[in-house]
Structure 1
Amino acid sequence: MQCIRDFSFVRGLRGRVCLSVRTPVKWRAAAGAALAASLMFSPLIANAQSASGPVAEVNPMIGTGTGPGDSENLFPGPSMPFGMVQLSPDTESSGFGYHYYQHKILGFSMTHMSGVGCSNEGEVFFTPTTGPVDLEGDASNYSHQQESASPGYYQVQLLRWGIEAALTATDRTGEVKLTFPAGKQANLLIPISHTLNNAIGAQIKIAGNNRVEGYVTNETFCGSNRPYKVYFVMEFSHPFAKYGTWSGYRDGAPAALTAGSREATQPGNDKQVGAYVSWPQSSDAQTVTAKIGISYVDLKGAEGNLKAEAAGKSFAQIRQEETAAWNRALGVIDVTGGTAKQRTVFYTALYHSLLIPSIFNDADGRYLGFDGQIHHVASGHNIYDNYSGWDIYRSEMPLVALIEPKRMEDIAQSVVLMYQQGGWIGRWPQINQYTNIMAGSPLTVVLATAWLDGLHGFDMKAGWEGMYKDAMQAPPPGSSYQGEVGMKWINTLHYVPNDKVGYGSVSQLQEDAIAWASLYDLAKDLGKQDAAHTLYERALYYRNAFDPQDKMFHPRNADGQWIKNFDPKKSDGFIEGSGWHYQWFAPADLAWVVQAMGRDTFNQRLTQFFDYKKPGWYPQYYNPYNETDLEAPFEFNFSGEPWMTQKVVRRVLNENYPDTPDGVPGNDDAGEMSSWAVMSMMGFYSVDPASRAYELVSPVFQKTVIHLHAPYKGKEFTIEAGPEPESNAYIQSVKVDGKAHAKNWIDFGDISRGGTMQFTLGSSPNQQWGAAAGDAPPSLSEQQQ
């Protein structure tokens, strides 16, 4: 999912609130000279603190954006792997939080969603100042030369105030260490009504001489506008001497500051409230730390999280524990060789792949369910929320299933509980609420992939019920969940008519089809033969949008007629893309698409699709900035030209994943774009994850070791690529466990059982390896019914 601001071929696009896109490359060329000095950065500057292990390879500044209009929007602040708290500086008052090119820090907030395409979260915002308390113009300039970031740590000098701010975090808490200059009153302003989206209520209370508490009510993103509360407790290392609150209107009228006031409440979305605390000036620099716990349940939960995770611990201890946690998480994959840049790109991409979904339950196990009630998760487990479903089913969730299998089982169980509490499995749920963003049933693919990978530590009986219901029925009128769009027409016409469903009729059907195909694979595994037959037929409905005349996917109307004057460069019938982007989207049945289009035509068109001079958002070429066609580079493996997959994947990695602030193409979308790079750099990717088939490409490292964990039987899966793989893009031959491997794909079981895969690479293509008809990955239409 991307944020579209400059996308000429989306005329007529309807029904989406978040329409965003990366500004064209030509803008960057024009503005690049003016911004060059401020945008240059060194990984050693960005990660200035000494570190060891894979944490030392990570640069959180990658993907934080290069200029106005760009859609890179990652945050550099600390978060534990999949942590509830994602604490980071904010350089804008609404939007995504931090952008590298912006030169002022407004403050810091406790929550962010990594790289998603609409303004979101940013709750529990605070900003330090010095001198008299002033609510006007509290932002501070800063320099990237006086800023550092690494997994678990962020530090910056606020130059206007002479304050050094350092941040670290646990799963559910953040700690801020503020060093104030000598001779100045030290202040912390907490404008609790400030969020990155739209706060519609808030309350703040001075609760003692070293504690502030309260809540803010924000709304879910992308115009879904469902309210949720974030509670917080903030405790200080030193008692403050002064305090007060304020209240003001959003129309620009000045806020009324009341010294000595202990409480302020925002009754609606027209007012903003906040509080401040101050410490007297000192003859020496003074350091104040603030520990902040949050909860989506209540104040008791925020306080409990603070006591469970941060009580009695110093800033240095929390930072050390978080760094160790990241070294464990990143150390599941060891890479050897490649360039320093490639190692930084790889481990930073892996880091970004492990940020969300987010832990949602408090330390005591309580969490807010999809029914609005408080539930308890079993001891030793966590509930996860914030599923960028349309994005992450493609590679981020398969990657998590591979390297974090126990966590993946908890994620899967969280999706099952979504169904049990709310009645449906959502496609982009946020803060345990349905947002109805994007299309299809992507979490069906996620659950099916997890189960078929061998992860059975969740309630598949209930999960199957929810997935099958979503595949066959429309929610009743008034339901908070939209369901698969056009279900009435799907069940009667077997496609989504463009004149009845105004937004993305073809894409809706294609996205549904991958979910039905995944559910078909699952039904077979579960022995549900009747359901498998039904789902197989349903998974082939995508063909009803394929026009045999020009051999492309087309919108058609309810009367069966194709829309007139179809232009594949336009977006009519497609979601965040064009007919060119979506002509490749039949992940479960590419053998049929190759046959229907004709192998020569397929290869000719796919080659043309990658015939752009430089990356950009083109309607007729591959779009590396969005999920619409992420699978396209790997489709030559299905059409007898796997060497072309090897060529174009290397090109995308080299051009679109630099170690710079624009080092993630477009929105990272909760780790999807990053996980694409992680998989591709290791040498495999799955076009259809539930099929268990992983297409092979050339690795960029001499050696990659994936350390496997239960319930997988293997201990390690090792990938070897020989000397100088970074300059040898083409596979000459492959061996799996010492035996020649002619197929251009491997089964997931080949990985999870452990073993070795050896690549022999070269500088020119071997057009015979993996090119025979029997070497291609499996497809739905090849299976017997």
Structure 2
Amino acid sequence: MLRPPRVRVITLVALTALCASLAVVFTTATANAAALALTQYVNPFIGTDDSNAPNPVGGGAGGSTVPGPIQPFGMVQLSPDTPTASPSGYRFGDTQIEEFSLTHFNGAGCANNEDLGILPITGAIGASPGTSWTSYRATQDKTQEQARPGFYQSVLSNYGNTKVEATATKRTAAMRLTYPSSTTARVLVNTSRSATGNRSGSIAISGSTVTGSVTGGGFCGSSKTYQIFYRMEFDRAPSAVGTWLGGTVTAGSTSTSGTNSGGYLTFDTSTNRVVQVKVAISFVSQAGAQANLAGEQSGFAFDTVRGNADAEWNTYLNRVQATGGSAADLQKFYTALYRVFINPNLSNDVNGQYRGFDNVVRTASHPVYQNYSGWDIYRSWSALIAFIAPVEAADIAKSMVLDGQQGGLLPKWSHNTSEIFVMTGDPGPIIVDSLYQFGVRDFDTAAALALMDKSSNGGTAQGSPIRGRQATYTQHHYIENDPSDSLEYSASDFAVAQFARSLGDTAKYNTYMARAQWWRNVFNTESNYVHPRNADGTWPWPLNPASQSNFVEGNASQYTWMVPYNFAGLINLMGGRQTAVQRLDHHFTQTNGGQSQPYFYIGNEPEHGVPWAYHFAAAPAGTSNTVRRVMNESFTTGPGGLPGNDDLGATSAWFVWSAMGMYPPTPGADTIALHGPLFPSVFVDRPSGDIQINGTNAGQGNQYVQSLSVNGTATQRTWLRYGDIAGGATLSYTMTGSPTSWGTDPANVPPSFNDGATPPPTAPDLGTNLAAGKPASGSASCATAEGPDKAFDGKLGSTSKWCSTAAGTKYLQVDLGSNQTVRSFVVKHAGLGGETTAWNTGGFGIETSTDATTWTSRVTVSGNRSSRTYHPITAVTARYVRLAVTTPANDGNGAARIDEFEVYGSAGSGPTNLALGRPATADSQCSTTEGPEKAVNGSTSAGNSDKWCSLGTTKFLRVDLGASHAIQSFTVRHAGAGGESTAWNTRDFDLQVSADGTTWTTVVQARGNTANSSDHPVSASGRYVRLNIVTPTQNTDQAARVYELEVYGT
């Protein structure tokens, strides 16, 4: 048993001083380490006011946390409510308190709870509190406000400096009220008011006991309600009582019920200024509330309850002992860890009774929990709670399965006993699977899988489907004009697949793993982003990567990274690791950019795992640097110290993982990415085996991993599976202040999951960018900060591009320094830098020269809309390369914008055209000179017959590559590329791959194409490729015309 630490009350002022002066150094923790006094580091005021996030989600400006007392996973969350505090109930900047209520969410984004308001006052009862409640607001002395785990204090200056102290047990709360000497010291009890309006309640006063019920609900606009029964006991009988109903106050009345109802108790504090009150709640019955109060508070022993609460919190916090860091970092860490343990909340009473999702009262022998913000907590909270609190995690899994068995499906976003259906996707399966993958096994796994399968096939919860758009998802393999929901469905399908495989259900595994790859259907290889898509397969154009249109609380720039189970496939579609790293660097220009900028937004959950995308691009130093930046820039020790809603512990879980130097990057898998700890020592106390994390030189300024050993063996691998450390482990890092080569071998990246049988093929290496940092010149720039050099600086972004509005053709030239072998070019246009894709270069040519005088054309492009274009050529010798922009944009804008112009040559294993000269067949041909072989002959310039042409009913072109290859991209050269009318460019077509020429997989669905040449990055493999023509031209002409089908890979 752990000894309760010395009680230490902390005010915000004291916390500030603590951070500045505390110099506590602990020795490295070892197995069975002694308990540390850790509640001293928790600052419940962090996150209680707005952060500096620009354009946050609605209700998401601050952490929406509350400072009042609660025990881990407690049913009761007693906290003050202030006037401008929606959605949480409390805002640090407010100086008035409207009441102290018993229910709150930690960090939800909608107004919620605040049930059963209690307000100490002095003086006469004037206007009815039923209609004029806010006229009784208390003004508090902010200098005397205090909070720590399990304790809160405020002084109400307009009520004779009445001091309110509060503490809590799991199902009850206690208040010690110290009034001035008065005959009119009162306690108001509001049984109708809540954060979402007034509803019916009841009160009955009998001596020193108050009982009744309140009705709450309305969370996030829901019509669903719930009932809470309460029992309140005072340490002495009141001198007078009364009730109110609506606008009528009835002195002497002991009971009332209805909307806008409540009551008051008056105490004579002339000789004894202290009034103590304890209160319990139950979701089952009045008897349950009485049993809870009797079972958790004996008598009136405020200091004992407070001390027990502190001890309980200290026990939980000691599950992770972080030592050796700065006081500020320890405060941020332990406040985050504290918040991880607040939700979900106990549902059953001390006798085991609880109200189920079918509104039936049942009894369970284990703790039953409620309140899951599924969309928020599935990304990292669920794995963390399994990792550090496996016993509680098992009860959470049991509770979610019970919810599903009683209500129909695993909960999505549940509030008490109701499914509220807030947010998108189907997160319940991901939460349960993540718990399983991180070691939780003690629950009905077969029932859980059945519930997952039911939800994924249109099942309902409390009468409504969680996957409301499942029909269109299975019809199109994406959800039209809602890529956010589509990605969420695929993420859930991945988790169902992993869970099924763990249980040995191969059939379900194969079904859901295939569905998981449907994310590809909302990645537009033209815009190079996750992109809204119409029902007919076309893509609305142009795309503004920073626009929230058709996205849920985010934009295309942010949601593009939400493929955590197949980052390798995503990176390949982007064009490879180098491009992915450039895009990540640009994305992290800001760490809390809000919804309407093309930057990272830590204040909302969809991007929580994005810093670890660097790991999958073999650039773990990028993760280490970015994580530390986010921790320092977006988390502070002040009231605005959280970057956005804590969302029932989701944001805090991110910080805890980050500080420990590890993170679960793939929700639903057992992968742990490693990036190095913030602290010199982190000890995780786990029943199955302790984990010791050592960080030599760890601390601020040393965020990079120099070396790592696991259980004494050095490793360059940047990840582990949970099973590698489940029985205990020691991870020993040496940290340093500069990026290192640790973990940069592509063989050491974490696993991605493709079709389940094989990992995604690796994108071919283009080699070294010969143009990087070389002398550049060009046509007159739009601004001095947008000169030619910006196109060769290795960076993306609207502030790191070449821009020119010069008349006529606009030139951008680079001197490679000496003659080089040149094999390909990559042009990165405006869209890749976060600007509208309407500004992607429409037409351009690329020329080479050995002397800067005589130029040879190598590439000609017209009708381009792509954000990234790849241009392989037959190897040539050149010192100078020139980009000639003929059509600056595809919307008529006159400015040329080039984010990067890259030249590749002798180094690397660049992709080759695998289709060149290979055997080709087709459904038909227009004439004997327009056969399928013409589409793989490497030529577009031998006249109008240098093409494959077909007038068949079903038009297809098939190429045998001779053996299975990893395929990186396709290039299709249409009629315009051969000099024919652009009206004959293929409009709609599919590209497919096959291992055997019989079973085909569609990897590209191109709709609405107008370009002369279209590029289509993929991550695929196969021996056979097939081009299926859906709509052959832009008009009514029915002839398909393809000058070249190029297949690039290795």
Q: TM-score, normalised by structure 2?
A: 0.67
Q: Counterpart amino acid of 1:490?
A: Y
1:262 equivalent in structure 2: 254
1:490 aligns with 2:473: yes
- Rounded to whole Å, the distance in 1 between the matches of 2:523 and 2:299 is 63
Q: What amino acid does structure 2 have at the position aligned with 1:196? A: A
CA distance in 1, matches of 2:182, 2:624: 62
User: What aligned pairs does 1:91-102 form with structure 2 within 5 A after superposition?
Assistant: 91-92=82-83, 95-102=87-94
1:87 aligns with 2:78: yes
Kindly indicate whether the alpha-carbon contact (under 8 Å) linking 2:51 and 2:641 is maintained by their aligned counterparts in 1: no
CA distance in 2, matches of 1:421, 1:83: 23
Partner of 2:400: 415
Q: Deviations over 1:594-616 (max 9, x none)?
A: 11111222221111101239855
In 1, the alpha carbon distance for the partners of 2:521 and 2:294 equals 58
> What is the CA-CA distance between 1:229 and the residue it aligns to?
0.6
Partner of 2:564: 587
Offset at residue 474 of structure 1 (A) = 4.5
Question: Which residue identity is paired with 2:337?
Answer: L
Matched, 1:772 2:772: no
Greater alpha carbon shift after TM alignment, 196-205 vs 731-740? 196-205
Distance 1:203 1:762 in 2: 63
Residue identity opposite 2:297 in structure 1: A
Aligned residue number for residue 260 of structure 2: 272
Q: Stretches of 4+ moved more than 4 A in 1? A: 44-47, 66-69, 613-618
Change over 3 Å in CA distance of 1:769–1:67 after alignment to 2: closer
User: How far has the Cα of 1:196 moved from its partner?
Assistant: 1.3
Residue 145 of structure 1 aligns with an amino acid whose one-letter code is T
Structure 1 vs Structure 2 CA RMSD: 1.9
Match of 1:578, as an amino acid? N
Match in the other structure for 1:22: none
Could you tell me how far 1:618 is from its partner in structure 2? 4.3
Counterpart CA distance in 2 for 1:210 and 1:563 is 67
Q: Which residue number in structure 2 is paired with residue 53 of structure 1? A: 37
Looking at structure 1, the residues matched to 94 and 572 of structure 2 have their Cα atoms a distance apart, in angstroms, of 50
Q: Which amino acid aligns with 2:256?
A: A
Q: For the residues of structure 2 that align with 1:606 and 1:459, how far apart are their CA atoms?
A: 41
Instruction: Please report how far the alpha carbon of residue 690 of structure 1 lies from its aligned counterpart in structure 2 after TM superposition.
Output: 2.2
Determine the structure 2 residue equivalent to 1:246. 244
- Using the TM superposition, give the Cα deviation of residue 782 of structure 1 relative to its aligned residue in structure 2, in angstroms: 7.0
CA-CA distance at 1:760 after TM superposition? 1.0
Residue 281 to residue 456, structure 1, CA distance change in 2 (3 Å): closer
* Matched position secondary structure for 1:690: coil
Map of 2:275 onto structure 1: 288
Alpha-carbon distance, 1:372 to partner: 1.1
Question: Is 1:199 aligned with 2:191?
Answer: no
Q: Give the structure 2 partner of residue 601 of structure 1.
A: 579
Map of 1:741 onto structure 2:
715
Letter in 1 for 2:143: Q
Q: Could you tell me how far apart the structure 1 residues matched to 2:714 and 2:596 are?
A: 40
Correspondences of 1:518-667 after superposition (within 5 Å): 518-599=495-576, 600-612=578-590, 618-667=596-645
Alignment correspondent of 1:186: 185
Aligned counterpart, 2:349: 362
The answer (yes or no) to whether the contact 1:617–1:625 under 8 Å persists in 2 is no
Aligned partners of 1:167 and 1:175 also within 8 Å: yes
The number of equivalent residue pairs is: 717
Q: Distance in 2 between matches of 1:405 and 1:97?
A: 31
Q: Please name the residue that 2:46 is paired with.
A: 62
Distance 1:752 1:220, change over 3 A: farther
Q: Structure 1 724/629 Cα, relative in aligned 2: closer, same or farther at 3 Å?
A: closer
| TM-score (ref. length: structure 1) | 0.89
Matches of 1:41 and 1:738, distance apart in 2: 44
The amino acid that maps onto 2:464 is Y
Give the drift of 1:522.
1.4
When you count strand as a share of all residues, which structure comes out higher?
2
> What secondary structure does 1:780 align onto?
coil
Cα offset, 1:280, TM superposition: 2.2
Q: Which one of 656, 660, 680 corresponds to residue 702 of structure 1?
A: 680
Question: Is 1:220–1:430's contact at 8 Å kept on the other side of the alignment?
Answer: no
Give the CA deviation at 1:46.
10
Q: Deviations over 1:155-183 (max 9, x none)?
A: 11111112111000011000011011113
Aligned mate of 1:466, from 451, 467, 479: 451
Residues 441 and 484, structure 1, Cα contact 8 Å, conserved in 2: yes
CA distance in 2, matches of 1:515, 1:570: 25
Is 2:375 aligned against 1:390? yes
Distance in 2, matches of 1:575 and 1:695, equals 27
Amino acid at match of 1:654: N
Does residue 111 (structure 1) correspond to residue 103 (structure 2)? The answer is yes
8 Å CA contact retained: 1:46, 1:149:
no
| Matches of 2:254 and 2:287, distance apart in 1 | 19
Q: Which amino acid letter does the alignment assign opposite residue 63 of structure 1?
A: G
Q: Shift in Å at residue 617 of structure 1?
A: 5.1
Among residues 407, 415, 433, which one is paired with 1:448 in the alignment? Answer: 433
Give the Cα–Cα distance (whole angstroms) in 2 for the partners of residues 475 and 748 of structure 1: 33
Equivalent position to 1:221, from 212, 219, 222? 219
Partner of 1:6: none
Which of 117, 122, 125 is the equivalent residue of 1:133?
125
Whether the 8 Å CA contact 1:424–1:481 is kept in 2: the answer is no
Match of 1:4 in 2: none
Summarize deviations over 1:605-642 as a string: whole Å, max 9, x none.
11110123985554211112111211111110001211
Equivalent position SS for 1:726: coil
Q: Give the SS at the match of 2:220.
A: coil
Any idea what SS the aligned residue of 2:652 has? helix
Quick one: distance in 2 between partners of 1:348 and 1:514? 30
Alpha-carbon contact 2:347-2:369 (below 8 Å) kept? yes
Larger Rg: 2
Alignment partner, residue 43 of structure 1:
15
Match for residue 74 of structure 1 among 62, 65, 78: 65
Matched, 1:148 2:143: no
Could you tell me how far 1:45 is from its partner in structure 2? 7.9
Q: What amino acid does structure 1 have at the position aligned with 2:465?
A: Q
SS of structure 2 residue aligned to 1:74: coil
Deviations 1:712-733 (A, max 9, x none): 2x1x101111135222011111
Structure 1: gaps (5+ residues):
1-38, 249-254, 499-504
* Alignment deviations for residues 727-767 of structure 1 (CA, whole Å, 9 cap, x no partner): 2011111110110111111111233221110111111100x
- The structure 2 residue matched to 1:726, chosen from 679, 696, 700, is 700
The one-letter code matched in structure 1 to 2:533 is: R
| Structure with more contact order per residue of length (Cα contacts < 8 Å, sep ≥ 6) | 1
SS at match of 2:546: coil
Q: Does the Cα contact within 8 Å between 2:513 and 2:756 map onto a contact in 1?
A: no
Structure 2: stretches of 5+ with no match in the other structure: 1-10, 20-34, 53-58, 759-1050
1:31 aligns with none
1:511 alignment partner AA: E
Q: 1:319 to 1:436 in 2, by over 3 A?
A: same
Deviation at 1:519, TM superposition (A): 1.4
Is 1:177 the counterpart of 2:154 in the alignment? Answer: no
What is the letter of the counterpart of residue 55 of structure 1? T
Q: Distance in 1 between matches of 2:504 and 2:36?
A: 49
SS in 1 for 2:226: strand
Describe the SS at the equivalent of 1:555: coil
Q: In the aligned structure 1, how far is the partner of 2:454 from the partner of 2:81?
A: 42
- From 473, 484, 508, the equivalent of 1:507 is 484
Q: Which has the higher helix share?
A: 1
Deviation, 1:442, is: 1.1
